[in-house]
Amino acid sequence: MTTTTLQQLENHGEFIARHIGPSADEQAAMLAELGETSLEGLTADTVPGAIRREPFLAVGEPMTEREALAKLRTIAKKNKVLTSFIGMGYYDTLVPNVILRNVLENPGWYTAYTPYQPEIAQGRLEAILNFQTMTMDLTGLELASASLLDEATAAAEAMAMAKRVSKSKSNTFFVADNVYPQTIDVVKTRAEMFGFEVVVGPAHEATATEHFGALLQYPDREGQLHNLEQLIADIQSNKGIVAVAADIMSLVLLKSPGEMGADIVLGSAQRFGVPMGYGGPHAAFFATRDKYKRSLPGRIIGVSKDSRGNQALRMAMQTREQHIRREKANSNICTAQVLLANMASFYAVYHGPQGLKTIASRIHRLTDITALGIHDKGADAGIELVNTTWFDTLTFTYDGNAEALIQKAVDAGFNLRVDGQVNGKSQFGLSFDEAKTRADVETVFEVLFGDDHGLDIETLDSRVAAGELESIPAELVRTSAILEHPVFNSYHSETEMLRYIKQLENKDLSLNHSMISLGSCTMKLNATAEMIPVTWPEFGQLHPFCPTDQAAGYGELLTTLSEWLVDITGYDVMSMQPNSGAQGEYAGLLAIAKYHQSRGEGHRNICLIPSSAHGTNPASAQMMSMNVVVVDCDKNGNVDLEDLKAKAAEAGDNLSCIMVTYPSTHGVYEEGIKTICDIVHEHGGQVYLDGANMNAQVGVTSPGYIGADVSHLNLHKTFCIPHGGGGPGMGPIGVKKHLAPFLPNHTVVPIHGTGLDNGAVSAAPFGSASILPISWMYIAMMGSRGLREATEVAILNANYVAKKLSKHYPILYKGRNDRVAHECIIDLRPLKDACGVTEMDVAKRLQDYGFHSPTMSFPVAGTLMVEPTESESQAELDRFIEAMISIRDEARRIEKGEWPEDNNPLHHAPHTLADIVDANWDRPYDRSTAAYPVAAVAVNKFWPTVNRIDDVYGDRNLMCSCPPLESYR
Ligand SMILES: Cc1ncc(COP(=O)(O)O)c(C=O)c1O
């Protein structure tokens, strides 16, 4: 007889043990190492009693992978995927299957982190460099950045950059009224907080007076093509900087804005092979003139050389963190859609210039054919074309019953762009894309003109071919070549492409090789079951502005996820709009500022930020025009409460808020966190609790319970969205009730429950909606108990590493009972004093051992911050610990003088195959010490493909496009 029940055998919590690395036996052994007997005991010893809660989550019982996928399927099916003719910056695209499976669905690509360790990231660095090269070619400008979050925020960045570089003293920024409405919305939000005035008007009015900058759209929102050359020159002669938001596909056929003199060209790269995904994630591109390179927002990948003099890639100007320079920041962009930029660049590599021209020309041809049909039959149907030129978008007026036309289109399976009443007439739009076919044109004709329209596609096509239309004026036809670099002309067969993708993937260390213990980044498992729904068409193929009844599945997903996150965070309301953590910070500060304004306290503009904060905190505050006042930390890494009291009192009536990270970036649960909240509240301020470290709170405590007013969550940390080599991300914010009326809204898709006048912070109403199923799956499969256990094991793993390493390295900060939170800081400064070994040497040497370095020199210079997460098993932690101890032993040999300070395995790390096969090996250590320093390495050797990279050389000789092929030889 067995006492096991069927319920137990069904094992609904099976995923918990898949997600959590250490088995029950391993957990017991690790607890014993710490002198603890249970996870609960460890948690009680670690988390301050004042904030610790008994199990409280109401998420419910865990589901198996199969159950969760089945449940999500039923939700997904509530979305209705219609053919979208809506356009407005979002287009259907055919993701090449070789890219879909080998990049988007491949953990080798999606689990990588931002390429902070370039020697083990040459693959994705090359893919991003291709993205930059593609951007420069298509925009006709000299310099491009890696990627930004979306077109609208890129436009807002362009405005901020224009202000930085313009010689004009004007405080106004001009936006042409034919720019996409969501872009105008985001630009206005940003401008208000910068204190700029936005003037929206017909493009030609841009020259009526002096503006520090102007934003134009090309082609414009109605599809019309304008020769911008004279207008750009006129604005510039008035000292204005001209930014042009351009459509990437149209640039294949059209004269580039760069050739027309634009200073900045930006846009979305979505239609280069990235699904619409109900708004994201997609990468934005951004290009400018070389002379503005120091003012460029976002990251730039540059070419440098390694210690053998070979060409090597890395993030340029990284040492000064380029743009996130705390209070002097020129942008807060951190996580920035790298995976999607890579997909777009691979799309260009795969199709090449000829393939892209065929695609763009087909789109244009279908548009021409449709236009000709409207010319022929429109008058009888009350339809008249508004635009006289176009690439892919037609705008028309309609005399008949607008509602009936919309419904007829929906019944036929497609969505029109609905402009409403324009100049007293109903106006609509049709945008074509590469997924459209002649059959779609037939359907459009049937809806517009009835079944017996009599139009014949072949006949219309030959009339277009015979030159009946000049829809792209001769002066706007592109004559300059695009994508001439060999990388865009070599991989057009699937075999070649597959191998190119694999060749790059092999150069990168991702989570599918070994643990990536980047502190503050939470590199946990991104489970396959969580990733599967992302590419379901019901989630991938929805246009963000489709009628809401067609997005009922998304509605349910957003509601459920919001409810779960409300429960987890202790807040009252969530906003799903911010598409990165830093965007969440911005949205949160915006809500705080508007709240103060609503109470007649708009003067409150001092933002207190502890010195340990992440750079994006002060950068976001700076974008809000807040005055940042830095609060000191004490010797234990905690916020210095006396200093806080003094600075809060000094700020007095001008105190807006504090931005505090919890547990702190020093890796400890500060005992005084409630006091911190109280001090700030006493002075009328609000508490912004940076939720990047939420992985140490879920199910144990919550920011709402602690007393904070608003937080962002990095769903790409705590809730399993993969980092994708530097994005995508999602940074939703949770707020207490009083801040709810001040959450972002959206011009095109109004968001229920928030103020009508609130502007948007992202292009899409729900940010990067199509990756939300990942977090939904995670929470569903973990259930209340799994989520809490994940937190407890994250604490266990960090304390285990800290304890084991503390015999070899000082652990910088500890909290109560000598415990760390979910991460710990290893202090390497004594090692530098003893034998010249730096944190950089240790980081690079770890690569020889097959590991990615922990976070280097953040938040304390000269240290490494380790965050193992709950997903790593004891075996993997032991391998990492063994590597760190072995490195310490190597340093000891330098201390003893056995190896010179400038000729030892740490100094020369990482070692490449080229080093090992070099006939002139002349080092005081042997080759196997270099490449196989411990036995475990042999089982799973990772070879960095370049030696240590020279950052200074790269910054002095900034080169941000693909180097000529000869230079590879
Ligand atoms: C503490 C902290 N806050 C904010 C951020 C910014 O998040 P994101 O990169 O998504 O913009 C990070 C990112 O690493 C972080 O570690």
Model confidence at 318, pLDDT cuts 50, 70, 90, reads: low
Model confidence at 961, pLDDT cuts 50, 70, 90, reads: confident
DSSP readout, 431-443?
E--TT--HHHHHH
CB 275 within 8 Å of CB 287: no
Least confident segment among 44-48, 89-93, 300-304: 300-304
Model confidence at 322, pLDDT cuts 50, 70, 90, reads: very low
What integer best gives the mean pLDDT of the chain?
A: 96
Residue 437, pLDDT > 60, answer: yes
Contact 714 CB / ligand 1 (< 6 Å): yes
Q: What is the pLDDT of residue 325?
A: 58
Q: What is the pLDDT of residue 324?
A: 59
Mutate to test the pocket of ligand 1, among 335, 666, 761 (most ligand atoms within 8 A of CB): 335
CA distance 344 to 270: 7
Residue 138, pLDDT > 80, answer: yes
Contact 505 CB / ligand 1 (< 6 Å): no
Q: What is the pLDDT of residue 637?
A: 84
CA distance 654 to 929: 60
Phi, psi values for residue 704, rounded to 5°: -65, -40
Q: Which CATH class is domain 354-476?
A: alpha beta
Contact 581 CB / ligand 1 (< 6 Å): yes
Q: How far is the CA of 588 from the centre of ligand 1 (A)?
A: 14
CA distance 892 to 583: 45
Q: What is the pLDDT of residue 635?
A: 87
Residue 332, pLDDT > 60, answer: yes
What percent of the chain is predicted at pLDDT more than 90? 93
pLDDT digits (tens, 9 = 90+) for 251-271: 999 999 999 999 999 999 999
Cis check for the bond before 773: say yes or no (omega within 30 of 0).
no
Model confidence at 3, pLDDT cuts 50, 70, 90, reads: confident
3-state secondary structure of 437: coil
Looking at 3.30.70.20, 1.10.1530.10, 3.40.640.10, 3.50.50.60, the CATH number of the domain 103-349 comes to: 3.40.640.10
Residue 182, pLDDT > 70, answer: yes
- What's the rounded mean pLDDT across residues 292-302? 90
pLDDT digits (tens, 9 = 90+) for 812-845: 999 999 999 999 999 999 999 999 999 999 999 9
Q: How far is the CA of 692 from the centre of ligand 1 (A)?
A: 6
CA distance 514 to 508: 11
Longest dimension (CA), the chain: 94
Mutate to test the pocket of ligand 1, among 148, 149, 326, 520 (most ligand atoms within 8 A of CB): 520
CA distance 664 to 280: 31
Model confidence at 63, pLDDT cuts 50, 70, 90, reads: very high
Q: How far is the CA of 273 from the centre of ligand 1 (A)?
A: 27
3-state secondary structure of 729: coil
Q: Which amino acid is at 923?
A: R
Residue 957, pLDDT > 90, answer: no
- What's the rounded mean pLDDT across residues 879-905? 98
Judge whether 103-349 and 573-737 match in fold. yes
pLDDT digits (tens, 9 = 90+) for 689-701: 999 999 999 999 9
How is domain 573-737 classified at the CATH fold level?
Aspartate Aminotransferase; domain 2 (3.40.640)
Q: What is the pLDDT of residue 229?
A: 98
CA distance 124 to 122: 6
Residue 919, pLDDT > 80, answer: yes
Task: List the chain domain ranges.
Answer: 103-349, 354-476, 573-737, 781-898
Looking at 3.90.1150.10, 3.30.200.20, 3.20.20.10, 3.40.50.300, the CATH number of the domain 781-898 comes to: 3.90.1150.10
Phi, psi values for residue 213, rounded to 5°: -170, 170
DSSP state at residue 584: H
Answer yes or no: pTM beyond 0.75. yes
Model confidence at 969, pLDDT cuts 50, 70, 90, reads: very low
Residue 321, pLDDT > 60, answer: no
3-state secondary structure of 311: strand
Residue 962, pLDDT > 90, answer: no
Q: What is the pLDDT of residue 952?
A: 83
Looking at ligand 1, which residue's alpha carbon is closest to its atom 8?
Answer: 581
CA distance 558 to 552: 10
Q: How far is the CA of 962 from the centre of ligand 1 (A)?
A: 29
Mutate to test the pocket of ligand 1, among 299, 586, 616 (most ligand atoms within 8 A of CB): 616
Residue 790, pLDDT > 60, answer: yes
Residue 328, pLDDT > 80, answer: no
CA distance 798 to 22: 12
Q: Which amino acid is at 656?
A: S
Q: Which atom of ligand 1 is nearest to the CA of 585?
A: 4
Distances, alpha carbon 910 to alpha carbons 446, 848, 919, in Å: 65, 6, 18
pLDDT digits (tens, 9 = 90+) for 658-710: 999 999 989 999 999 999 999 999 999 999 999 999 999 999 999 999 999 99
Contact 522 CB / ligand 1 (< 6 Å): no
Model confidence at 319, pLDDT cuts 50, 70, 90, reads: very low
- The DSSP element (H or E) to which 551 belongs, if any, is none
